[in-house]
Amino acid sequence: MGSIRIEGRGSEGVALGLHVAASAVLCTLLGLPVVALVLRVPPGRLLERFQDEALVAALRLSLLTSVAATLVVMLLGLPLAYLLTTRTFPGKRLIEAMLELPMVLPPTVAGVGLLLAFGRQGLAGGALAALGLSIPFTTLAVVVAQVFVAAPFFIAATRAGLAEVDRRYLDAAATLRSSPSRTLFRVMLPLAFPSLLAGAAMTWARALGEFGATITFAGNMPGVTQTMPLAVYLALQTDLDAAVALSVLMLALSLGVLLGIRLVTPGLLPVGARARAPGR
């Protein structure tokens, strides 16, 4: 028996070693660029950078557009996620697939698509022009591009959260005089709130980092469409230190959001839906 146990422990040890080695490789690949960025920051120059008007403009624009995009996504995404969670209808699978597409599409392709749809010569361009609207190469275009690429994150998280809410709570609410819309606001949303929050944070982080669709659809005009990622790219051509400083700022923002999500939503699961059954 003793020898078997030692053999078992030996092979377990090898397996553990392999897991650790694989993890180390991947963590290095993902982590090293971050470390490199932080190490390259020229001390004292970071602060100086924030007196740069162009940078401040880019930062302000990034915050403005990403918050706007997140609000739009939440406002329109919540009803959509609710319908997709609670109803079945023809073409649902197609809509679901389309909603996931922006996650895998190269953002520049998304930008081209946006131009062909909402550009002056685009599908909806004429209709928009009739309304006196021209979207491309405006701040609005930045928001539209961000909504396009970031919406799937909110919709996916919200759908998962709503679906996690146990049916029996909805039944209980219905027998307590609560109409479906009241049940949505008083039962489903509170129970799914952590998922909604996580989805909104992911959406905001994705919108903040948006580059490809923005530069294609909105262009790169300082103060109007030049967001932080675009400013980083531009700075890279002329001033590496500036690019690094901007990058570190982006990095800090993104890391803050991701850490924040983890603090607010342990395990990304709605706490309420996991309540234990009585006395079993």
How many residues contact another protein, by CB under 8 A? 26
Under rule CB under 8 A, residue 100 binds another protein: no
Number of Cβ within a 10 Å radius of residue 256: 12
Q: What percent helix, strand, coil does the chain show, rounded to 5? A: 80, 0, 20
Min CB(274)–another protein separation in Å: 8
Under rule CB under 8 A, residue 266 binds another protein: no
Q: How far apart are CA 145 and CA 156, in angstroms?
A: 18
Min CB(192)–another protein separation in Å: 10
Interface positions, 172-231, toward another protein (CB under 8 A): 172-179, 182, 186-187, 190-191
C-alpha to C-alpha distances, 130 to 105, 120, 126, 226, nearest whole angstrom: 31, 11, 6, 27
Under rule CB under 8 A, residue 275 binds another protein: yes
139 neighbors 203 (Cβ within 8 angstroms)? no
Min CB(201)–another protein separation in Å: 20
Under rule CB under 8 A, residue 162 binds another protein: no
Choose between 117 and 163: whose C-beta lies nearer to another protein: 163
Min CB(163)–another protein separation in Å: 17
Min CB(15)–another protein separation in Å: 39
Q: DSSP for 4-71, please give it.
A: HHHHHHHHHHHHHHHHHHHHHHHHHHHHHHHHHHHHHPPTTHHHHHTT-HHHHHHHHHHHHHHHHHHH
Min CB(108)–another protein separation in Å: 43
Under rule CB under 8 A, residue 45 binds another protein: no
**Dihedral sign of CA atoms 267, 269, 271, 277 in order:** negative
Choose between 240 and 271: whose C-beta lies nearer to another protein: 271
Under rule CB under 8 A, residue 88 binds another protein: no
Choose between 152 and 161: whose C-beta lies nearer to another protein: 161
Site string for another protein, 117-156 (x = CB under 8 A): ----------------------------------------
Min CB(278)–another protein separation in Å: 4
Instruction: Give the burial class of 276: count Cβ atoms within 10 A of its Cβ; 0-12 exposed, 13-18 middle, 19 or more buried.
Output: exposed
Q: How far apart are CA 130 and CA 150, in angstroms?
A: 28
For the chain, what is the total number of helices (H) and then of strands (E)?
13, 0
* Beta-carbon-side half-sphere exposure of residue 167 (alpha carbons within 13 Å): 2
Choose between 169 and 233: whose C-beta lies nearer to another protein: 169
Choose between 176 and 259: whose C-beta lies nearer to another protein: 176
Min CB(77)–another protein separation in Å: 22
C-alpha to C-alpha distances, 75 to 7, 52, 155, 202, nearest whole angstrom: 59, 35, 11, 15
Residue among 169, 220, 236, 251 that touches another protein (CB under 8 A): 169
| Residue numbers at the binding site for another protein (CB under 8 A) | 166, 168-169, 171-179, 182, 186-187, 190-191, 271-273, 275-280
